[in-house]
């Protein structure tokens, strides 16, 4: 064996051991064997053995390693890592790590993902979706809600209370529905397809709020008192955290609760004097009980030694003296109940604190824990439901609406946004399926919740833009006949609430993800915060594990860069195989880049929001890709769905790749070096092709199984806009051959308008039956309703005081006459 061959063989053995994440002892043994072979063939002499010993002995002998290596690393680490604030610690420790941890491993276990049980509904949940949920969709007229009443009508409110829509999360023992997270998601999806006001009103009490907080942290007395009343709708809750001075920085609320003596029911007691000014609070104008977050102080040490107890959550009945409530904000013409609440010297007993006095100061932790669950369900489901309905509607509309003598959906330019809407509808539903299944399995996925909230609401925004573009003026002119405008107007609400999106992307996803999901970082941080020999040992284990992990991801990234990912084993042999393999590659890349970013920037990484955002994007797209593959797998790998899977995976992987490249382009010399290693053969992920877009657009324009699966669970009864469009789509398709027949018989190419007259012509020429003529008449009526928009007498558009003054003026005129 030549020297070169031995060197190459030794490097390959070392690389293979690192790739496979062999233990330090195994890795050392591998090198010793290679050196022994080298000695046997006279390549390795004593000098090389001494060098090897100098490297391996301290690494493998724990006492030497701890003193010689780990101690200095630990003290350097402590200098670089900033102190964590209590709120940061609470946010980090809240929730659990699930599949997001695998994605951070650089080596996701796809079988484990496939083995996650499929999300399914119980018979009771199905009955609710087909019964009360369908019914309330029929009852609601969104134009009446958003324009005429700026609220839901009383009978709809009552129906929601009676049917326990506000009690989906409340346990059965308290009279609630106790639905799975997946069922809640399906209910919200259906409602969101009909009305944003309806979906928001139902979403909020089932998300973060008194119900959720009481079930987790309430005292028995609080649970027994409130939960049955919340379940029956006798109490309407809201939750007030946001203040004018503290929006995104919610931990900085200035609202205070000072422990003091005061009078309560004629007796002097120790209680809390609250002063607060909250805004943007959903359901506040109609709420009967307020969940209130405030900072608690005990300056006279009436309940303990601590003077500043921290953020605390309490339940305050609406009619408590000093509470000002009832005024409304007007969120972008999507007038769900939302408004300010103020409190001036509101005195309440200590047992108004959720969980009682022992929970004073624990409010932040309670909030972040509950938020991780709610954030995975409400807004992602509302967004997915909205886009599922709009995907079907856009497909139908683009077949019904013709320009240049063609359905507009057949124009290549329109195919592109249509494919985006359909591909995203598939993807968004996939994300809600996996995320809610995680919750149903007992997870509290804080990182996944942030990913789902950010990306689903951003996709809602881009798909709403696409749908508006395709509908042209039809989407713009508001009125009872417009099924897009209010959803479009409501998008910024979804973007802003539950963690405004820029902040969520820039700080939360990766900020939590890096520390929570990384297999070693949290362990290092915890060990470095402790003292003594045990802490040193823990740190040693974490830091050397971390080094091995980073080396493995480096070797994998180099190997995959040259196409080695195509050799990685994955549990799929169909057209999706390449996606699993690309995900393996990107997972190793992300884990490596994450370590490089943390190594280069240390504690300042949390201020480098653009680096954090792009690393967060990588983690997010890996998660989204997993959801798509899981959905395809769970639904039986249906071949006909592949165009949607291709679109969703290609779009996701392409965005992942671009996030990586953008990060590298902004990362100086290290970035250039890493790009050379990770992309020696150039980009690997392509955007969805025009050919695939074409297939999707065609699929979306006519009834078929793929399209039915895409819109599964949405409100499609003919009473609603979308059901009507579905009927008209079917009619148009049935009318096309009849129209052709009449044109042929008449020897003339008519335009595809005035179908009733074409029917009459067909009858006259004797080529159409009465039924066929009736079909053409119905199609024409449906076609006109689909393409027409509303118009109004000018006075009908007057709102509020102007409308009142106008009515009064007319009344006076009438009286005078």
Ligand X SMILES: Cc1cc2nc3c(=O)[nH]c(=O)nc-3n(C[C@H](O)[C@H](O)[C@H](O)COP(=O)(O)OP(=O)(O)OC[C@H]3O[C@@H](n4cnc5c(N)ncnc54)[C@H](O)[C@@H]3O)c2cc1C
Active site residues: 498
* Smallest distance from ligand X to CB 247, Å: 2
State the first-to-last Cα distance of the chain, in angstroms, to the nearest integer.
116
Return the DSSP state at 133: I
378 vs 587, beta carbon nearer ligand X: 378
* Smallest distance from ligand X to CB 333, Å: 12
Of the candidates 249, 349, 255, which has an alpha carbon nearest to the alpha carbon of residue 297?
255
Quick one: which of 242, 436, 657, 660 contacts ligand X (CB under 6 A)?
242
What CA–CA distances, in Å, run from 206 to 179, 231, 490, 504? 10, 10, 20, 22
Q: How many residues does the chain have?
A: 817
Region binding ligand X by CB under 6 A among candidate stretches 127-135, 154-162, 278-286, 649-657: 278-286
Region binding ligand X by CB under 6 A among candidate stretches 300-308, 447-455, 495-503, 522-530: 495-503
**Where in 104-123 is the site for ligand X (CB under 6 A)?**
none
What is the DSSP secondary-structure string of 311-372? EEEEEEETTSTTEEE------TT---SEEEEEEEEEEEEGGGBTT-GGGTT-HHHHHHHHHH
Chain residue at closest Cβ approach to ligand X: 247
What CA–CA distances, in Å, run from 436 to 42, 381, 441, 646, 782? 62, 10, 9, 23, 38
Return the DSSP state at 107: S
* Smallest distance from ligand X to CB 220, Å: 27
C-alpha–C-alpha distance, residues 207 and 209, integer Å: 6
The torsion region of residue 265 among left (phi > 0), alpha (psi -120 to 50) and beta comes to left
Quick one: which of 73, 81, 149, 500 contacts ligand X (CB under 6 A)?
500
Pairing of strands 289-297, 256-264: parallel
496 binds ligand X (CB under 6 A): yes
Q: How far is CA 218 from the centre of its chain?
A: 28
Region binding ligand X by CB under 6 A among candidate stretches 98-106, 152-160, 494-502, 565-573: 494-502
Site string for ligand X, 597-616 (x = CB under 6 A): ------------x-------
The torsion region of residue 766 among left (phi > 0), alpha (psi -120 to 50) and beta comes to left
C-alpha–C-alpha distance, residues 715 and 720, integer Å: 7
Quick one: which of 104, 280, 554, 623 contacts ligand X (CB under 6 A)?
280
Quick one: which of 28, 282, 482, 728 contacts ligand X (CB under 6 A)?
282
Of the candidates 715, 718, 738, which has an alpha carbon nearest to the alpha carbon of residue 728?
718
Quick one: which of 206, 207, 506, 552 contacts ligand X (CB under 6 A)?
506
* Smallest distance from ligand X to CB 77, Å: 25
331 vs 438, beta carbon nearer ligand X: 331
Quick one: which of 281, 427, 509, 596 contacts ligand X (CB under 6 A)?
281
* Smallest distance from ligand X to CB 327, Å: 14
338 vs 692, beta carbon nearer ligand X: 338
* Smallest distance from ligand X to CB 339, Å: 10
290 vs 674, beta carbon nearer ligand X: 290
C-alpha–C-alpha distance, residues 107 and 572, integer Å: 16
* Smallest distance from ligand X to CB 420, Å: 24
What values do phi and psi take at 259, rounded to 5?
Answer: -70, 130
**Where in 324-343 is the site for ligand X (CB under 6 A)?**
331, 338
Q: Which residues are paired to 274 by β-bridges?
A: 257, 346
Region binding ligand X by CB under 6 A among candidate stretches 9-17, 234-242, 348-356, 704-712: 234-242
C-alpha–C-alpha distance, residues 346 and 359, integer Å: 20
Region binding ligand X by CB under 6 A among candidate stretches 64-72, 503-511, 513-521, 570-578: 503-511
* Smallest distance from ligand X to CB 292, Å: 10
325 vs 536, beta carbon nearer ligand X: 325
* Smallest distance from ligand X to CB 508, Å: 9
192 vs 493, beta carbon nearer ligand X: 493
Residue appearing with tokens 């382009």: 665
C-alpha–C-alpha distance, residues 396 and 722, integer Å: 9
Region binding ligand X by CB under 6 A among candidate stretches 279-287, 435-443, 705-713, 723-731: 279-287
Region binding ligand X by CB under 6 A among candidate stretches 70-78, 129-137, 235-243, 655-663: 235-243
3-state class of 796 per DSSP?
helix
* Smallest distance from ligand X to CB 323, Å: 16
DSSP run (H or E) holding 296: strand 289-297
* Smallest distance from ligand X to CB 200, Å: 8
What is the DSSP secondary-structure string of 604-631? GGGG-HHHHHHHHHHHHHHHHHHHHHHH
Helix then strand count (H, E) for the chain reads 35, 9
Which residues lie closer than 8 Å to 247 by C-beta, 6 or more apart?
500
- Per rule CB under 6 A, count of chain residues that contact ligand X: 20
139 vs 502, beta carbon nearer ligand X: 502
178 binds ligand X (CB under 6 A): no
Q: Which two tokens stand for residue 370?
A: 């509950």
Quick one: which of 448, 507, 588, 725 contacts ligand X (CB under 6 A)?
507
Helix 196-203 and helix 181-192, axial crossing angle in degrees, nearest 10: 160
210 binds ligand X (CB under 6 A): no
What is the DSSP secondary-structure string of 144-177? IIIIIISS--HHHHHHHHHTTGGGSSS-GGGT--
**Where in 332-391 is the site for ligand X (CB under 6 A)?**
338
Site string for ligand X, 609-648 (x = CB under 6 A): x---------------------------------------
Binding residues for ligand X, rule: CB under 6 A, are: 239-242, 247-248, 280-282, 331, 338, 493, 496-497, 500, 502-503, 506-507, 609
């Amino acid at each position: 064996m030549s020297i070169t061959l031995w060197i190459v063989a030794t490097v390959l053995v070392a690389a293979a051991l690192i790739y496979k994440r062999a233990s330090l002892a195994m890795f050392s043994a591998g090198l010793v064997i290679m050196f022994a072979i080298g000695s046997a063939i006279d390549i390795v002499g004593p000098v090389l053995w001494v060098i090897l010993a100098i490297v391996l002995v301290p690494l493998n002998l724990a006492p030497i390693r701890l003193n010689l290596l780990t101690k200095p690393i630990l003290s350097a680490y402590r200098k670089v890592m900033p102190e964590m604030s209590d709120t940061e610690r609470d946010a980090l420790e809240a929730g659990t790590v699930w599949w997001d941890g695998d994605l951070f491993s650089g080596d996701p276990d796809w079988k484990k993902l496939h083995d996650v049980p499929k999300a399914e509904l119980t018979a009771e949940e199905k009955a609710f979706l087909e019964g009360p949920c369908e019914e309330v969709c029929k009852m609601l007229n969104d134009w009446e809600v958003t324009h005429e009443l700026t609220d839901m009508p009383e009978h709809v409110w009552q129906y929601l209370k009676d049917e326990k829509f506000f009690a989906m999360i409340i346990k059965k023992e308290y009279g609630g529905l106790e639905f799975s997270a997946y069922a809640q998601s399906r209910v919200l999806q259906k409602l969101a397809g009909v009305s944003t006001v309806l979906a928001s009103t139902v979403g909020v009490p089932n998300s973060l709020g008194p119900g959720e907080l009481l079930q987790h942290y309430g005292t028995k007395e609080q649970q027994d008192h409130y939960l049955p009343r919340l379940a029956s709708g006798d109490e309407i809750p809201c939750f007030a955290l946001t203040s004018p001075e503290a929006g995104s920085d919610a931990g900085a609320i200035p609202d205070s609760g000072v422990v003091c003596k005061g009078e309560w029911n004629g007796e002097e007691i120790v209680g809390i004097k609250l002063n607060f000014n909250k805004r943007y609070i959903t359901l506040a104008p109609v709420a009967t009980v307020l969940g209130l977050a405030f900072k608690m102080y005990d300056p006279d040490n009436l309940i303990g030694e601590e003077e500043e107890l921290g953020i605390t959550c309490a339940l305050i009945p609406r009619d408590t003296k000093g509470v000002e409530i009832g005024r409304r904000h007007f969120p972008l013409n999507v007038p769900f109940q939302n408004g300010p609440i103020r409190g001036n010297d509101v005195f309440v007993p200590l047992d108004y604190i959720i969980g009682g006095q022992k929970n004073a100061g624990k409010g932040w932790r309670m909030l972040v824990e509950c938020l991780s669950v709610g954030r995975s369900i409400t807004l992602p489901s509302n967004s997915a439901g909205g886009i599922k309905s709009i995907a079907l509607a856009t497909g139908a509309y683009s077949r019904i609406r013709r320009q240049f003598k063609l359905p507009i959906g057949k124009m290549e330019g329109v195919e592109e946004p249509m494919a985006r809407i359909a591909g995203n509808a598939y993807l968004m539903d996939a994300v809600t399926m996996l995320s809610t299944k995680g919750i149903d399995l007992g997870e509290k996925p804080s990182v996944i919740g942030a990913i789902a909230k950010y990306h689903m609401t951003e996709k809602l925004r881009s798909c709403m833009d696409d749908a508006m573009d395709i509908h042209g003026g039809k989407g713009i002119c508001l009125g009872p006949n417009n099924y897009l405008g209010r959803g479009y107007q409501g998008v910024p609400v979804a973007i802003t609430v539950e963690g405004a999106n820029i902040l969520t992307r820039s700080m939360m996803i990766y900020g939590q993800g890096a520390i929570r999901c990384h297999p070693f970082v949290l362990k290092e941080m915890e060990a470095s915060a402790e003292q003594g020999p045990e802490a040193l040992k823990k740190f040693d284990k974490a830091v050397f594990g971390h080094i091995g992990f980073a080396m493995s991801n480096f070797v994998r990234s180099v190997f995959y860069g040259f196409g080695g990912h195509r050799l990685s084993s994955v549990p799929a042999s169909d057209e999706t195989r390449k996606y699993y393999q690309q995900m393996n590659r990107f997972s190793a890349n992300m884990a490596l880049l994450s370590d490089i970013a943390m190594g280069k920037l240390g504690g300042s990484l949390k201020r480098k929001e653009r680096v954090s955002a792009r690393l967060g994007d990588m983690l997010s797209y890996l998660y989204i890709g997993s959801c798509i593959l899981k959905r395809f797998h769970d639904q039986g790998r249906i071949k006909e769905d592949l165009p949607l899977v291709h679109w969703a995976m290609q779009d996701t992987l392409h965005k992942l790749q671009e996030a990586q490249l953008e990060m590298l382009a902004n990362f100086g010399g290290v970035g250039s070096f890493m790009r050379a290693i990770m992309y020696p053969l150039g980009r690997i992920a392509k955007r969805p092709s025009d050919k695939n877009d074409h297939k999707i657009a065609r699929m979306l324009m006519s009834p078929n199984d793929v399209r039915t699966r895409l819109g599964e669970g949405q409100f499609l009864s003919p009473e609603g806009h979308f059901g009507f469009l579905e009927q008209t789509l079917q009619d148009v398709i049935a009318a096309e051959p009849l129209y052709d027949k009449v044109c042929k018989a008449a020897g003339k190419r008519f335009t595809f308008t005035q179908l009733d007259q074409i029917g009459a012509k067909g009858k006259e020429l004797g080529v159409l039956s009465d039924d066929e003529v009736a079909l053409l008449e119905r199609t024409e009526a449906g076609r006109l309703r689909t393409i027409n928009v509303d118009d109004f007498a000018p006075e009908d558009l007057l709102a509020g005081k102007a409308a009142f003054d106008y009515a009064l003026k007319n009344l006076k005129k009438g009286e005078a006459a």
